[in-house]
Amino acid sequence: MSGNRTFTMIKPDAVADGYMGAILAQIIDAGFKVVAMKYTKLSAEKAGEFYKVHSARPFYGELVEFMSSGPIVAAILEKDNAVEDFRKLIGATNPAQAEPGTIRAKFARNIGENAIHGSDSDENATIEGAFHFAGTEIYG
Ligand code: UDP
Ligand code: MG
């Protein structure tokens, strides 16, 4: 199991900007299978918990506010080498530095409101997936 799943969120900016469908299409066209998905909205408390690893960073308050500002799409995705391949698909954190054609290059507003989340390790993919989904909501 480890190594073939990652966790993603389409962030409030991209949902508000109307890119949900285009982003999901790009993810699925790249070979990722959706094994869990929900359209939901994070409370500030939940967003703060999800990003608590960044709680000492200067952008943390803004990040929590932004991530709880509107609905998101949360999903668990399956593919060989999922974490690394998905990070390549989404591009660099700062869309100004993201490779052309990546999801952040195409759809992000700026470094904070950057359209999409992707787990950075297999371990975090498991933790983040379990944060958002019960085992019964995962159809693998
Ligand atoms: N972020 C920000 N300013 C920064 C760095 C990050 O607002 O200088 C936000 C941005 O939304 C980013 C999230 O914090 O996606 C988590 O940061 P991380 O470094 O983990 O980037 P990611 O893994 O999302 O590329
Ligand atoms: Mg990260």
User: How do residues 33-52 score in pLDDT, each as one tens digit?
Assistant: 999 999 999 999 999 999 99
Which tokens hold the place of 91? Answer: 């591009």
Q: Ligand 2 centre from 115 Cα, in Å? A: 13
User: How do residues 81-100 score in pLDDT, each as one tens digit?
Assistant: 999 999 999 999 999 999 99
73 has which bridge partners? 10, 39
- Which residues 6+ apart lie within 8 Å of 32 measured at CB? 6, 77, 78, 79, 82, 85, 86
For range 71-79, the mean pLDDT: 98
In single-letter form, the type of residue at position 108 comes to A
SS3 126: helix
Question: Considering every ligand atom, which ligand is closest to the CA of 96?
Answer: 1
Q: Ligand 1 centre from 66 Cα, in Å? A: 12
* 129 close to 36: Cβ distance less than 8 angstroms: yes
> If pLDDT is split at 50, 70 and 90, which confidence band does 3 have?
confident
**CA distance linking residue 10 with residue 97, whole number of Å:** 19
Minimum-distance ligand 1 atom for the alpha carbon of 120: 23
Atom 10 in ligand 1: residue holding the nearest Cα:
112
Please give the CATH topology (third level) of the domain spanning 5-137. Alpha-Beta Plaits (3.30.70)
Closest CA to 5 of 97, 140, 102, 96: 140
